[in-house]
Chain A
């Protein structure tokens, strides 16, 4: 899942419904789920997009999706969505839909045929000629997709080859779908991938293995190794873009070795890609049913379960996601994502001791980073092991870059508050906001009036800031201001009883006399 930039938002033609039914859209995640237990924002903080923090920051979830502008004037308006995109983890990643700029990679030296010249010049090839030679065409297609990143040419070749095969070859259809997706033609991609899956089902048993799609071959190690996250109370972590897609491809490739070819169902990679297209079209239900259908046929594949768990997480259905993460762990005991998510779930459901064990497992596995140390520190602190917590935070600070340091300082301020040292907490918070002026949670906790206003403006997802500002306005007697603030607070967290009470009082004040 790519991060959607401003251009994606403005040029989105694939929107199915402006106002989706509750619980069917990623843009309005909390509408279907009851706000209770650990997923309630009072216990578990929200990401900028308004869903509970998971333990693992995934690309595409850092910034708000179109229509998620919870604090904006009119939800779903283009202006609001653009504002939200500008505010994301990487402001204004304005990547036009039609270029796959992220995939641009320099050709490695071994690939160059002549100094300075390209290995294969796809623009000059007569693709119809190659389409008639199936084996060469496959290799050529993969080269164009993964090395040249020339999706238009790949599409041309795949179309010609499909035609040559009489529209029966699932592999070419999957490549067509891939190329369409990269070009942003989601509906076409969906059609091709679904057709590819149908072909695979028909061919099942007859042709168990066919032209190994060598996705793994060209996936650079850079796409995978960006590590884990996990967050503490309010930390979030931006993984390298494309990590998920690449990891999914790798997982499916490795699992294929274990699966008996005769029993092999459809290719996992195709299923994952189709689900990705569904998600991009904001149809989480379709993606879930796809994962659900494929998972029983691929009992050894953690990728499908992880995919389904991610969707559940994004929809705010923490319990189902938890069950899936546990299944993933039983298949793949070193799945970093599953461990991190389980750890944060236990942390927010009041079992920091259990969370601590998961975090330690991650550390034992060799995963390291500011976020992980910070989370371990928090878990230590809430589990009462304060002597362990402070060294963890020291390590986190030593490992933190500019992106993570504000969150580490913020979490350290929580520890300071827990110890009762207000001046230390204040220093931590000041450091956090000096490093990141948009840290809404820190502004809220520093909380002077003007600061609260900054907090509200910078982080519409932080309901505490809105509520505090409303309460202050109410005490001051400025009911107009209070009404607007409390409205924003309730938009961020509809189940907040104190805000509801305040709104009731305000309405009574208006209707009095």
Chain B
């Protein structure tokens, strides 16, 4: 029996779409379009079916066809932009389409798409402006607030990021992404107990999130009364869940080093270095671990590598100085210490280093030792 009724075909197709039988619904919508070629709604559905099946180029053609019939439909612009954003080298035209869609009628989804494209291109300030504009339209969307907060965090503006994330959490108190980001900001400011309280909420929602366990581990590590065992077990769990996370391996190495287990620290630090060969602090810690394992030559090599990767990091210089001093190279140590003093005199570095009194103590002790020797 052949169907001749466009409405029936459409109804069947809608049912198929709802049951995720996209191929079927595409066929029916195409039939309906053949019967009634001037129905924009049908064309739209054909395009959407194609898009859901991953045939973006064909979908774009269909949408263009539909736009000839109804040029002022924001949905068409939006859908076309969405398909273009999946195609290679079409990001610019996708942005144009989204712009047109927003010009006709602003919509949260459109803003989020624009923001994602801009963020992927590292145009952070443009993306932030875009979300700001979006929030004027719908100031209470937790999704928009979280996205803006994460972008601000990426741009380094943690105060504003925290405000946005806080607002997001106000509307959706169990959003794991926002909790994780807010917790990490709190942690950066040194309030580890408050961060742990936040993570406690997130751990219920996402018990197997490696980043979450990493942060919990570092919160335990950073507390005033340092709890190394808790930190190490949390970090181990994170590493078990995500063995490719070099940052977790680095953190675990740090925790072991602080707990005085240099051999374990070496293992994890060397794993971190293997996974991410251009991260200077890993080499620095590796040098410390090697020195404790009484391998001065390799320790010195690791130190040099760290200096080569990031000559602007004062802590690397300080650690190098301590190591050289321990090896009996007084002149080298003095040179490194001078470099450390020079770099740490810069205001932003000074503020960062002031957070940890141990750095200053170590530098002072080294100066004293070198001075006595000289």
Check if A477 sits within 8 Å of B271, measured CB to CB.
no
Chain B neighbourhood of A480, CB < 8 A: 20, 22-23, 52-54
* Chain B residues with a Cβ closer than 8 Å to the other chain, count: 43
A183 to chain B, nearest CB (A): 46
Which residues from A are CB-within-8-Å of B209? 497
B186 at the interface (CB under 8 A from A): no
Q: Are B236 and A420 in contact (CB under 8 A)?
A: no
A43 touching B208, Cβ below 8 Å? yes
With contacts A36-B207, A478-B53 known, is A42 near B267, CB below 8 A? Answer: no
Interface size class of A (residues with CB under 8 A): 20 to 34
Q: List which A474-511 residues lie within 8 A (CB) of chain B.
A: 476-481, 483-484, 496-497, 509-510
CB-defined A-B contacts under 8 Å, sample of 5:
A42-B241, A420-B270, A420-B271, A420-B272, A480-B53
Q: A347 CB to closest chain B CB, in angstroms?
A: 11
Chain B residues contacting A414 (CB-CB under 8 Å) are 243
B75, CB-defined interface residue at 8 Å: yes
Q: Does B317 count as interface, using CB distance less than 8 angstroms?
A: no
Q: Does A398 contact B (CB under 8 A)?
A: no
Query: Complex formed: what's the CA distance from A494 to B237 in Å?
Result: 21
Q: Does A332 lie at the interface of the complex (its beta carbon under 8 Å from any beta carbon of B)?
A: no
A421 CB–B CB distance under 8 Å: yes
B203-245 vs A, Cβ < 8 Å mask (1 yes, 0 no): 0011111000000000000000000000001001101110110
Closest Cβ of chain A: how far from B240's Cβ, in Å? 7
Residues B249 and A420 in contact, CB atoms below 8 Å apart: yes
Question: For the complex, what is the distance from the CA of A481 to the CA of B207, rounded to whole Å?
Answer: 27
Which listed residue, B48, B207, B236, B271, touches A382 by the CB 8 Å rule?
A: B236
B273 close to chain A: CB less than 8 A: yes
A211 CA to B260 CA, complexed, in Å: 67
Which chain A residue has the least Cβ–Cβ distance from B234?
Answer: A350
User: Which of the residues B208, B263, B273 comes within 8 Å of A40, measured between beta carbons?
Assistant: B208
Closest to A41 in B: B208
A477 touching B56 by the CB < 8 A rule? Answer: yes
The interface residues of chain A lying within 8 Å CB-to-CB of B205 are: 497
- In the complex, whether B102 has a CB less than 8 A from a CB of chain A is no
CA distance A57 to B209 in the complex (A): 30
- Interface pair A476/B54, CB less than 8 Å apart: yes
Interface residue? B275 (CB, 8 A): yes
Closest to A481 in B: B54
B292 contacts chain A at the CB level, 8 A cutoff: no
Q: A292 an interface residue at 8 Å Cβ cutoff?
A: no
Partner of B208, one of A476, A483, A497, A512: A497
B22 and A497 contact, CB distance less than 8 A = no
Chain A interface residues toward B at CB < 8 A? 36, 40, 42-43, 350, 382, 384, 386, 414, 417-422, 473, 476-481, 483-484, 496-497, 509-510, 512-513
Contacts of A509 in B (CB 8 A): 52
Min CB gap B227→A, angstroms = 16
Judge whether B79 is part of the interface by a CB distance below 8 angstroms.
yes
Distance, CA A277 to CA B208, complexed state (A): 39
| Contact yes or no, A40 B264, CB < 8 A | no
Select one of B18, B20, B208, B267 contacting A386, CB under 8 A: B267
CA distance A484 to B205 in the complex (A): 24
A340 to B271, CA, bound (A): 30
Tell me if B136 counts as interface (CB < 8 A to partner A).
no
Q: What are the 5 A-B residue pairs with the smallest beta carbon separation, nearest first? A: A420-B274, A478-B54, A420-B271, A42-B208, A477-B86
Contacting residue for A418 out of B18, B51, B109, B271, CB 8 A: B271
User: Is the CB–CB distance between B54 and A477 below 8 Å?
Assistant: yes
A476 to B55, CA, bound (A): 10
| A513-B241 contact in complex given A40-B208, A420-B274, A477-B56, C-beta closer than 8 Å | no
Chain B residues in 8 Å Cβ range of A420: 246, 249, 270-275
Q: Which residues of chain B are within 8 angstroms of A350 by Cβ–Cβ distance? A: 233, 236-237, 240
Q: Whole-angstrom distance between the alpha carbons of A421 and B273 in the complex?
A: 10
Q: Does B130 make an interface contact (CB < 8 A)?
A: no
B52 touches A417 (CB 8 A): no
A512 lies within 8 A of B233 (CB): no
| Chain B, Cβ-Cβ closest to A480 | B22
Q: Known: A414-B243, A421-B274. Contact between A513 and B79, CB under 8 A?
A: yes
* Residues of B with C-beta under 8 A to A476: 54, 86
